[in-house]
Amino acid sequence: MTGTDVIIAGAGIIGLSTALELAAQGIQVTVLERKRAMSEASWAAAGMLAASDPENPPQLQPLSDLSISLYPEFLARIEHLSGLSVPFRTAGTLQAVQNDESRLLSEDIARRIPELNSAGWQFLWLDEHSLDPRDLCAALPKAARAAGVHILEDSSVIGVRPMSTGVEVTTLTASYTSTHFINCCGAWAGEIADRLNIEPRKGQMVVVSLPPNLRLDYVIRTPELYLVPRGDDRVVIGASVERAGFDKTVHEATIQTLLHKAAHLWPPIQKAQIVETWAGLRPGSPDGFPVLDACGGPNCWVATGHFRNGILLAPGSARILCELVLGKTPSIELSPFRYDRFAKVSVY
Ligand X SMILES: Cc1cc2nc3c(=O)[nH]c(=O)nc-3n(C[C@H](O)[C@H](O)[C@H](O)COP(=O)(O)OP(=O)(O)OC[C@H]3O[C@@H](n4cnc5c(N)ncnc54)[C@H](O)[C@@H]3O)c2cc1C
Binding site for ligand X (CB under 6 A): 9-15, 32-35, 39-42, 44-48, 156-157, 184-188, 191-192, 203, 205, 238-239, 280, 282-283, 304, 306-312
* Residue 228: CB minimum distance to ligand X, A: 7
Cβ proximity to ligand X, 104 vs 303, nearer residue: 303
* Residue 30: CB minimum distance to ligand X, A: 11
Q: Tell me if 7 sits within 8 A of 167, measured CB to CB.
A: yes
Distance CA 293, CA 305 (A): 12
Count Cβ atoms within 10 A of the Cβ of residue 26 and give its class: 0-12 exposed, 13-18 middle, 19 or more buried. exposed
* Residue 188: CB minimum distance to ligand X, A: 4
Cβ proximity to ligand X, 233 vs 242, nearer residue: 242
Cβ proximity to ligand X, 103 vs 291, nearer residue: 291
Q: What per-residue string of b and e applies to 58-82 under the rule 16 or more CB within 10 Å gives b?
A: eebeebbebbbebbeebbebbbebb
The helix (H) or strand (E) run that includes residue 181 is strand 180-183
Of 214, 150, 189, the closest CA to residue 342 belongs to: 189
Distances (CA, A) of 227 to 55, 145, 249, 308, 309: 16, 33, 21, 15, 16
* Residue 338: CB minimum distance to ligand X, A: 18
* Residue 39: CB minimum distance to ligand X, A: 6
Cβ proximity to ligand X, 226 vs 266, nearer residue: 226
* Residue 335: CB minimum distance to ligand X, A: 21
How many Å separate Cα 298 from the centre of its chain? 27
Cβ proximity to ligand X, 181 vs 266, nearer residue: 181
Q: At what angle do helices 133-146 and 61-82 cross, to 10 degrees?
A: 70
Cβ proximity to ligand X, 5 vs 40, nearer residue: 40
